[in-house]
């Protein structure tokens, strides 16, 4: 009946197991899959990442030199990162921030980023690198 | 006396997932239980026919949020069997390490849910605090807490570094010593025993007849464990399936607690024997043929059937999950028991409805 007693005393003396989250953030592990980043200057628009993607989250337009990812479709499996021949896709340990509306982030070569909203909501959604 | 029908679920505090049971009651005693599933059907089997066979690894992984690694492993094994791919030895051991870590996290989750089901909140938190260490191992080694995505056809995608292996062993020691403390509460506490001992007895004959798998069958004295068939590296490891003879909820708890220790032991054995070398072999061409694979998941035996026709899409994928096999046993246990014991009875089969409905 007194099996929990030692545990209770140990818990009283020890630090809490939880973190005060927004104030105290944990560093992501080196392998954590948070979100996909792309370095557009090296992209050759081969389309391998788009074909490998299990959730069809990446759309590439070779003529317009755009690379577009839908972070709400992306399941962050990391297949695109592995398959990329120029290694311009990289995994960021930080997770995407929550958003009010769904949007995609479109990258154009010349390192310009355009936000294209899917819904016509006026809320700005996605922060992109 | 007249009969009353009480709907149990799909939304109920004790259920992590939607399972609906119509309980035909006579007074406080259950006369009959009529199940209804189909609340989380997502059509994943059909989806695998549209995606490439390599992409399907990520689709089947999402069948279940608890045993995702085993689903991906079973699917990869199916395709590897069809295409006659021999995966490297190191990949075999890595798969066993991650599979056993997954089993630990699943059983610790279940122990927490069980404590929650009989109203022991602080015990629930103790167990889940312990589980968080397992989740950290998974995030550190594979990059994600649940969907490890560490499997690929032909081996594994990630390797474990020497530092990681050392760290895993340190954390395993912590988990083992913490669990030893909590274990005595589950096994010796008067109130806990009062809720578990003699509740939902499933005899060995019934378990065999109803086709129970996993901890349900093991707690009833059936020595069924797919790991003994020696898939991946299990053939080279030293372990015995854990069997209990009582067949009640207490026996199932004992089996699952002992399986956590067994998993810790298996991971240690794997780390000690881990061979050097490649982690994957390249895969060329498309699969043609069919294969059946049986893998021991935390909840029991899962059966994977894949038929491929030589194109990049597979023709048919069929998954028989352990919870589906255990529902007949649950329906056998329910009649005659008290309404207050229903949450415990449902939890002791460790239901995974997402698996069952896919």
Contact B343, B8 (CB under 8 A): no
Within a 13 Å sphere around the CA of B310, how many CA atoms are in the beta-carbon half? Answer: 0
Same domain, B146 and B182: yes
Q: Of the candidates B268, B305, B343, which has an alpha carbon nearest to the alpha carbon of residue B77?
A: B305
Tell me, yes or no, whether B67 lies in a domain: yes
- In Å, how far from its chain's centre is CA B235? 20
Question: Do B64 and B15 reside in the same domain of the chain?
Answer: no
Residue A117 and residue A99 in contact, taking contact as beta carbons nearer than 8 Å = no
Decide if B358 is inside a domain: no
Residue B357, domain member (yes or no): no
Residue B94 sits in the same domain as residue B35: no
B125 and B191 part of one domain: yes
CATH at B101: 1.10.645.10
Same domain, B167 and B269: yes
Q: Is pLDDT at A120 greater than 80 in this prediction?
A: no
CA of A2, closest CA in chain B: separation in Å?
A: 8
Same domain assignment for residues B89 and B28: no
The answer as to whether B114 is a domain residue is yes
B132 touches chain A (CB under 8 A): yes
Q: Report pLDDT for A125.
A: 43
Same domain, B319 and B335: yes
Closest by CA position to B100, among listed B224, B277, B213, B233 = B233
Within 8 A by CB and 6+ apart from B316, the residues are B49, B305, B306, B307
- Mean pLDDT of residues grouped by 10 in chain B (358 residues)? 83 82 87 86 88 88 86 90 89 90 91 86 87 90 87 87 90 89 84 84 88 87 86 86 87 91 91 88 87 90 89 88 88 86 85 84
Number of domains chain B is built from:
2
Domain-embedded: residue B349: no
In A, what residues contact B, Cβ < 8 A? 1, 3-4, 6-7, 17, 29, 31-33, 52-55, 75-79, 82, 91
Give tens-digit pLDDT for B23-77: 898 888 888 888 888 888 888 888 888 888 888 899 888 888 888 888 999 999 9
Q: Chain A partners of B59 at a C-beta cutoff of 8 Å?
A: 54
Q: Which residue in B56, B132, B149 is closest to A78 by CB distance?
A: B149
The answer to whether residues B92 and B233 touch, using CB atoms and an 8 Å cutoff, is yes
Structure tokens at B311: 């194109």
Same domain, residue pair B269 and B308:
yes
Confidence bin at A1 (pLDDT 50/70/90): low
Chain-centre distance of CA B334, in angstroms? Answer: 22
Query: Are B248 and B301 members of one domain?
Result: yes
Same domain, B182 and B72: yes
Query: A4-59, pLDDT tens digit by residue?
Result: 777 788 888 888 888 888 888 888 888 888 888 888 888 888 888 888 888 888 88
* A122 CA: distance to closest CA in chain B (Å): 32
Q: For the domain with range A31-94+103-118, which CATH number is right: 3.40.1160.10, 3.30.70.3270, 3.40.50.300, 3.40.50.10470?
A: 3.30.70.3270
Q: Is residue B105 part of a domain?
A: yes
The pLDDT, as a whole number, for residue B264 is: 92
**Where in the sequence is the domain holding B29, given as residue range(s)?**
1-41
Contacting residues for A111 by C-beta, under 8 A, at least 6 apart: A40, A41
Place of tokens 């069958």: B217
Indicate whether B80 and B127 sit together in one domain: yes
Instruction: Tell me if residue B258 falls in helix, strand or coil.
Output: helix
Does residue B159 belong to the interface with chain A, where contact is any CB pair within 8 Å? no
Instruction: Give the DSSP per-residue string, A30-87.
Output: TT---EEEE-GGG-----HHHHH-TT--EEEETTTTEEEE-TTT-----HHHHH-TT-
Cβ within 8 Å of residue B306, ≥6 positions away = B75, B78, B79, B82, B287, B290, B291, B314, B316, B317, B318
Distance between A81 CA and the closest CA of chain B, angstroms: 12
């Amino acid at each position: 009946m007194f099996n929990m007693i030692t545990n209770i005393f140990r818990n009283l003396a020890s630090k809490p197991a939880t973190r005060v989250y927004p104030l105290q953030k944990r560093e992501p592990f080196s392998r954590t899959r948070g979100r996909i980043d792309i370095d557009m200057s090296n992209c050759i628009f081969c389309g391998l990442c788009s074909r490998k993607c299990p959730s069809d989250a990446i759309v590439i337009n070779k003529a317009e030199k755009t690379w577009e990812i839908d972070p709400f479709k992306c399941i962050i499996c990391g297949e695109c990162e592995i398959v990329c021949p120029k290694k311009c896709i990289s995994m960021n340990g930080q997770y995407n921030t929550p958003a009010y509306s769904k949007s995609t982030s479109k990258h154009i070569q010349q390192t310009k980023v355009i936000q294209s909203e899917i819904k016509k909501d006026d809320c700005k959604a996605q922060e992109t690198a | 006396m007249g009969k009353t029908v009480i709907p149990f679920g799909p939304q109920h505090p004790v259920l992590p997932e939607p399972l609906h049971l119509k309980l035909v009651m006579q007074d406080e005693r259950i006369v009959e239980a009529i199940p209804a599933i189909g609340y989380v059907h997502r059509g994943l089997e059909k989806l695998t026919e549209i995606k490439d066979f390599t992409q399907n690894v990520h689709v089947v992984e999402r069948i279940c949020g608890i045993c995702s690694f085993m689903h991906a492993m079973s699917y990869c094994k199916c395709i590897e069997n069809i295409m006659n791919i021999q995966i490297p030895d190191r990949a075999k051991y890595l798969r066993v390490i991650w599979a056993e870590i997954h089993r630990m996290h699943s059983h610790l989750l279940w122990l927490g849910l069980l404590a929650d089901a009989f109203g022991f909140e602080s015990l629930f938190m103790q167990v889940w605090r312990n589980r968080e260490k397992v989740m950290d191992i998974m995030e550190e080694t594979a990059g994600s807490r649940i969907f490890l995505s560490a499997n690929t056809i032909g081996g594994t995608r990630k390797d474990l570094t020497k530092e990681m292996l050392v760290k895993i062993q340190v954390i395993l020691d912590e988990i083992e010593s913490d669990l030893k403390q909590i274990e005595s509460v589950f096994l010796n506490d008067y109130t806990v025993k009062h809720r578990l001992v003699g509740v939902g007895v499933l005899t060995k004959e019934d378990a065999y007849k109803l086709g129970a798998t996993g901890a349900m069958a093991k707690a009833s004295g059936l020595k069924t464990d797919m790991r003994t068939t020696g898939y991946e590296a299990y053939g080279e490891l030293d372990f015995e399936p854990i069997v209990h003879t009582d067949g009640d909820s207490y026996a199932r708890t004992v089996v699952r607690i002992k399986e956590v220790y067994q998993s810790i032991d298996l991971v240690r054995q794997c780390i000690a024997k881990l061979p050097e070398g490649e982690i994957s072999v390249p895969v060329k061409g498309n699969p043609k043929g069919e294969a059946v694979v049986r893998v021991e998941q935390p909840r029991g035996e899962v059966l994977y059937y894949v038929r491929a026709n030589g194109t990049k899409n597979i023709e048919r994928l069929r998954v028989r999950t352990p919870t589906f096999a255990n529902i007949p046993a649950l329906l056998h246990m329910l009649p005659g028991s008290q309404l207050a014991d229903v949450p415990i009875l449902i939890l002791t089969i460790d239901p995974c409805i997402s698996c069952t409905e896919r």
